[in-house]
Copies of this chain bind each other. A is one copy, B any other.
């Protein structure tokens, strides 16, 4: 069992804002992250797939195909976008990194088998800044 990881990146705007709360409570809980005019980040996304290497290619998964899959299914929907306004799968959800990694898992997990017979999704890691990151392992 070998674990294979691929890093992609995207730039996006967002704000942390709970619409069930007043503007004041949002400012109190989320601080400058609640700025109604938005702020943004360069996000780094690491996708890890685990499995037995294919004896014919030596690959758990073809990293070019994994990169293409991530870009098509995830990056194109997030890059240069507003996470609160522009992203279909984030509608009605808090635009936190914790929400994002779970949603990205839901998108990618069933797709991995379309490009690899040996690999299954193991982890999603998302860096919001070089000092803050979140991970999800599907449970």
Contacts and interface: CB of A to CB of B under 8 A. Distances in A.
Interface string A21-60: 0000000011111010111111000000000010011111
A116 interface: no
Contacts of A93: 58
B5 A53 contact: no
Interface of A: 1-9, 11-14, 16, 18, 20, 29-33, 35, 37-42, 53, 56-60, 62-64, 79-82, 85-86, 93-99, 101-102, 129-137, 139
Work out how many copies of this chain go into the complex: 6
Given A39-B81, A80-B33, A18 B98 contact: no
Contact of A3 (B59, B62, B130, B134): B134
